[in-house]
Amino acid sequence: MLEKLPDGLWATRYVGARFPGAPPVAERPGLADGANCQLFAYEVLRMLGLDPPDLRSSELWADAEFTERVTTPRPLDLVLFNATQNAWGAHVGIVAGDDQILHLCAEVGHPAVWSWQEFEDRPRYRTLVGIKRVMRRLRSPGA
């Protein structure tokens, strides 16, 4: 999955004010102006052919129309981490492969790939809230 991503993606800056639905996002979508973890994850999934809803983490966790909760992760699933089991304010990443989670966080400032253990080792991400699978695919041009 990681090899399918454009090189420029790795230069995306963490910008907490660029979240799904924020005014700058609506005016100029994409990652050129930076993103928070949610916006980053959704844009990456769109690059890879999925159509995730633009939801904040607690809305994503509650959603049953466009995503489903799963217990066994597979590539392109969204994962939510927090200090507690609370989905509000949870950090969102993408399962990229065996023991690989692609995400964008303030701590690093640009996209990173961490293992499940690296999340568990950090108090702010130590709890896996859960795993969500996007059920919609983008339409092909002309479809």
Q: Compare 29 and 84 and report the one with higher pLDDT.
A: 84
| β-pairing verdict for 127-134 and 78-82 | antiparallel
pLDDT tops 70 at residue 140: no
pTM across the whole model: 0.93
Quick: pLDDT tens for 63-94: 999 999 999 999 999 999 999 999 999 999 99
Rounded Cα gap, residues 53 and 65, in angstroms: 9
Compute the average pLDDT of residues 116-121: 98
For the domain bounded by 2-134, which CATH number is listed?
3.90.1720.10
